[in-house]
Homo-oligomer: A and B are copies of this chain.
């Protein structure tokens, strides 16, 4: 191997190591064990044991939840509380299961909800409705929790709810507007699960997969006050001229405005007085772990932001502009430098290829790295290990990636235009493959320069 190849090999291997450290820090099992401690009859919640509960004060411990990482979260709670758990009921994505002793798992579809999800949610609601003030409820929420807790308000079908959501997306409604509508045609979202659990004490532990960790957005906030109203929902529907909404939804929303249907619970509603919300894993926690590992490896580090959004290829250009500046002038940090960013970008589909946002980020970056010295590497990976409908988590690219693809007969520009990053990166040997990680706190990106 040449010196350049050695250098790139080292950088690529270090990038992988740093990425792995980031994922480990948000492993659901570990995250639960960092936030939940049991000593004798006492339960402590928080990294510094901020809140204390006396277990013998409660008649029952109930465990509910939904999300792609909820099974390993439940496993961790079972490890900690064992036989003290009286009843458990969680919804997870098909295949995302664990061996659980006290908790019944319902497998359901994601991202498009299915009838299994509805059945599971019904059971969870029924269980919560049996809860009294002498019960302690653990709610375990993770990415995908919204689709895995489908329960349309009375008279509305899952299909109708999905259609309306689609229409809202198509007409350019903001995510806040879409959420306001969704919460008002659901029987669980927007704090309505807290209403079902009331007056039990509820400890809601969340693995956040949303930008800025907004708890009213994570799984559509089943235990969080909703600030929108039926009135707002009508304004949104009128604003976008959605005249053809299904009759069942129209009837329900009309009844809602007249006060004949329950409004989502607002801040200061007593249903929240016994709810304790904790984010136990999030993107910034993963980025901090990446930073720690990078420092151990001798890098000067900079966390740009855990909240990066925007069109993937343009976000990639900003990252490679920073890489170029480091190489040219040593700004914003001198090499050996590790720039870290998180969040979740979007891809406007223009082609028919295979890939995901992290692979697209990789391919776009590879094009920007052409001609740079062989001492820079860019990694972009989904912390769930699953980028788009592929077996890859993302990509690690370097200044020779495009050339490697070309030698294999592929043109990087064409593959990017076709959103076909997977097939390019496969040939250029730049796919990042981790297998499923059982967690999800969005994406981690790394720029490494020696």
Seen from chain A, the residues whose Cβ lies within 8 Å of a Cβ on chain B are 172, 174, 212, 284, 302-311, 313-315, 317-318, 321-322, 324-325, 328-329, 331-332, 343, 413
Contact = CB atoms under 8 A, between A and B. Distances in A.
Contacts of A303: 325, 331-332
A305 B284 contact: no
Contact of A322 (B212, B304, B324): B304
Given A172-B413, A304-B332, 10 more contacts: A304-B321, A304-B322, A304-B331, A305-B324, A309-B321, A310-B313, A311-B311, A311-B314, A314-B314, A321-B343
Q: How many subunits of this chain does the assembly comprise? A: 2
A106 to B, nearest CB: 35
Nearest to A302: B332
A331 B314 contact: no
A440 to B, nearest CB: 19
A307 B329 CA distance: 11
A307 B325 contact: yes
A328 B325 CA distance: 26
A309 B316 CA distance: 10
A407 B305 CA distance: 32
Given A311-B314, A314-B311, A315-B314, A325 B302 contact: no
A213 to B, nearest CB: 9
A313 B284 CA distance: 24
B302 A308 contact: no
A216 B315 CA distance: 27
Contacts of A174: 413
Nearest to A318: B318
Contacts of A311: 311, 314
